[in-house]
Amino acid sequence: MEYLLIVISAVFVNNIVLSQFLGICSFLGVSKKVETAVGMTGAVMFVLVLSTLATYLLMKSVLEPLGLEYLRTISFILVIAALVQMVEIALKKVSPPLYQALGIYLPLITTNCAVLGVAILTIQKDFNLLQGVLFAFSHALGFGLAMISFSGMREHLEYAEIPARMKGVPISLILAGLLSMAFMGFAGIGA
Amino acid sequence: MAKLPSTIFNMVMTLVIVSLLSGGSLALMNEATKEPIRQALYQKQLEAIKAVLPEFQNDPVGELANATSEGGQALECYPARDAEGNLLGMAVKSVSPRGYSGDIWLMVGFKADGSLHGVQVLEHHETPGLGTKMADSPFKDQFIGKNPADFDLRVKKDGGQVDAITAATISSRAYGDAIERAYQAFLQQKSAFEAQP
Amino acid sequence: MTHSENFTKGFFKENAVFVLLLGMCPTLGVTTTAFNGLGMGLATTFVLVMSNIVVALVKDLVPDKVRIPTFVVIIASFVAIVEMGLQAYIPFLYEQLGLFIPLIVVNCIILGRAESFASKNSVLPSMIDGLSMGLGFAMALTMLGTVREILGSGSVFGLSFVPQGATTILIFVMPPGAFIALGYLIAGINALQARARKPKPVAAKAPEPLPAN
């Protein structure tokens, strides 16, 4: 039950993108096509879970015992940067087309605040390891849900007639606002 | 000045030096801010306690004791005493997980007889304009002076005596729930605090 | 580019939020009030200026291949300093901004400026660049925060101008309102810029009629 609550809360109620505003850069940047959105989701999901696991272990087994909590931000970002490098190298070997598609956005996962944000949130919430990994995974799922549904809508937006000044970013933001409003309907589920 | 070539030695040395410098400066900063941060937290705690208790002469934060609420969560209890060391009341930092979106943290102040002297909302994530009204009059005023022993903290809809906030029944329910938990902690800790002056 | 051009670019021509669309997470996340927007903007400005200065100072000592990690460490150090400083001396703001303070590290603007400007320029221009982009960012956040606070809470910088208990457009202090308000703000700025661009040919002709008589 407790675990189910973590999942529902992370995917729907406190959606990482639409209500916590993490990972907005890739949410707006790579969502023009469903295809790239799916790829980006996969990459973020992989990095998010892996980095939460790594930072959690780092925090609990090194920083906290040594009283070095103040190095949290700096060590987390380095761990994440190293992980992203590894994912990039792996992807280049395993799936060159996907690597081509995601292009410049892969290195940008390092500066995707969703990854660092969830790593820090996991520490702040006082989770155990299993809960933490589940928490990270469900946030990644929430990211994917928001990202893919948003990109689906944006594909349709291309054929809509929109006032010239609203074209591009403004209408996308308003669309995101409407999507976020829809997700507000999930609030209160945990109560 | 020419750029340093990217030999392995240079790269490793650069990273080591940069990390050492940054680690060192952060350690210094940590030392420098440790005391002010502790002070700021203490001050905040003390202000929340002062807001919900009658005037006291002791240092409640120094006499902190923990009570366990249902679910095994530890609730912080702060005693308030007069100049002779008699127990005037107790502030309990309480939490209800039943808020509309997440935990609601309250500082609840009891007089020695168990009646409510004041309640302050510490942290919540309720809907702005609806659930947030729990921090305002008239909602919060209905609790003052009531004793949870004979005042049912459930909302009227559930058979209790609390007038819920319009369109925020869940928040109102959680608010009552947090006070109820605080009251249980008060009952647990009261005799211990009375025993030690 | 002169120093003054360098300084003004961050406010309009290359504004991080309205034009470059960088740093969107804190932009949307903390702007429920004008004060929070300003606080976040100034904290980011501090990190941006300091990291730009340090990067410009050490740029020749850092081998190319470890350039990015080095910059990240420098930025992260200043972020941690801001974090501890705020916690100690402005705890109120620290609580309001919460998670978004450590997340300054991953604000694309900062690494972007270090990489594209400070690593190629000397200290003074880099400092001005940081100040310009940072204050432009702060301006954008304060604007968005002000709009959301006026519509959503009926106040400006915490000073209420509606009677107590008045109905305000609450959606603007909730998450959807952030997206919608920013969308309209950017559309408005696009419109203003388009209008500013148009009159130029007219202005060039304008002086002629006067000497004719």
pLDDT in tens, C128-147: 999 999 999 999 999 999 99
Cβ B129–C168 below 8 Å, yes or no? yes
Cβ A13–B101 below 8 Å, yes or no? yes
C-alpha–C-alpha distance, residues B100 and B126, integer Å: 6
**Is B146 exposed, middle or buried, given 0-12, 13-18 or 19+ CB atoms closer than 10 A?**
middle
What backbone torsions phi and psi does residue A30 show, to the nearest 5 degrees?
-110, 20
Q: Is the pLDDT of residue C202 over 50?
A: no
What per-residue confidence (pLDDT) applies to B83?
83
Test the A interface: residue of C18, C22, C25 with most A CBs within 10 Å: C25
Q: With contact defined as beta carbons under 8 Å apart, do A10 and A138 qualify?
A: yes
Q: Is the pLDDT of residue C102 over 80?
A: yes
What per-residue confidence (pLDDT) applies to A52?
94
Indicate the pTM of the whole model.
0.86
Q: Is the pLDDT of residue C166 over 80?
A: no
Cα atoms found within 13 Å of the Cα of residue B6, Cβ hemisphere only: 5
Q: Is the pLDDT of residue A125 over 50?
A: yes
Mean predicted confidence (pLDDT) in C107-120 = 89
Least Cα separation, residue B22 to chain A (angstroms): 9
Quick one: what percent of chain A has pLDDT higher than 70?
92
Report the b/e string of A145-169 with b at 16+ CB within 10 A: bbbbbbbebbeeeeeeeeeebbeeb
Cβ B19–C174 below 8 Å, yes or no? no
Q: Is the pLDDT of residue A160 over 70?
A: yes
Q: How confident is the model at residue C206 (pLDDT cuts 50, 70, 90)?
A: very low
Cβ B37–C173 below 8 Å, yes or no? no
Contacts of C170 in chain B (CB under 8 A): 127-130
For the ranges A29-33, A120-124, B2-6, B66-70, the maximum mean pLDDT occurs at A120-124
Q: Is the pLDDT of residue C42 over 90?
A: yes
Mean pLDDT of all residues belonging to chain C: 87
Q: What domain range includes position A7?
A: 2-184
Containing C159, the helix (H) or strand (E) segment is strand C159-160
In a domain, A51, yes or no: yes
Cβ C89–B36 below 8 Å, yes or no? yes
Contacts of B5 in chain C (CB under 8 A): 63
Mean predicted confidence (pLDDT) in C102-107 = 90
The residues on C that touch B, with CB distances below 8 Å, are 32, 60-66, 69-70, 73-74, 76-77, 80-81, 84-85, 87-89, 91, 152-153, 168, 170, 173-174
What per-residue confidence (pLDDT) applies to C85?
93
Contacts of B27 in chain A (CB under 8 A): 70
Q: How confident is the model at residue A105 (pLDDT cuts 50, 70, 90)?
A: low
In a domain, A191, yes or no: no
Q: What domain range includes position C38?
A: 3-200
What per-residue confidence (pLDDT) applies to A153?
92
Tokens linked to C97: 């901004």
In a domain, C211, yes or no: no
What per-residue confidence (pLDDT) applies to B2?
55
CA distances (Å), B119 to each of A27, B94, B115, in order?
Answer: 41, 10, 11
In a domain, A104, yes or no: yes
C-alpha–C-alpha distance, residues C177 and A174, integer Å: 9
Facing residue for C64 by CB, picked from B1, B6, B44:
B6
In chain C, the residue whose alpha carbon lies closest to the alpha carbon of A23 is C25
C-alpha torsion sign, points A60, B124, B121, C144: positive
Among B151, B119, B156, B154, CA closest to B137: B119
C208 or A186, which is more confident: A186
What per-residue confidence (pLDDT) applies to A191?
47
Kindly give, in sequence order, each residue whose CB lies less than 8 Å from that of residue C137, ignoring residues fewer than 6 positions away: C10, C15, C16, C17, C23, C41, C44, C45, C48, C109
Contacts of A191 in chain B (CB under 8 A): 98-100, 170, 174
Q: Give, in degrees to the nearest 5, the angle at Cα A77 between A75 and A80.
A: 110
Q: What stretches in chain B show pLDDT beneath 70?
A: 1-3, 71, 197
In a domain, C207, yes or no: no
C-alpha–C-alpha distance, residues A38 and B65, integer Å: 51
Q: How many domains does chain C have?
A: 1
Contacts of A71 in chain B (CB under 8 A): 23, 26
Cβ B15–C70 below 8 Å, yes or no? yes
CA distances (Å), B159 to each of B131, B155, B180, in order?
Answer: 20, 7, 15
In a domain, C206, yes or no: no
Cβ C61–B14 below 8 Å, yes or no? yes
- Contact with chain A for residue C108, Cβ under 8 A: yes
What per-residue confidence (pLDDT) applies to C196?
80
Least Cα separation, residue A109 to chain C (angstroms): 10
Mean predicted confidence (pLDDT) in A47-54 = 91
Quick one: what percent of chain C has pLDDT higher than 90?
50
Cβ B101–A74 below 8 Å, yes or no? no
Tokens linked to B155: 């909302």
Q: Is the pLDDT of residue A164 over 90?
A: no
Q: How many domains does chain A have?
A: 1
Chains touching chain C through at least 3 C-beta pairs below 8 angstroms are A, B
Chains touching chain B through at least 3 C-beta pairs below 8 angstroms are A, C
In chain C, the residue whose alpha carbon lies closest to the alpha carbon of B44 is C91
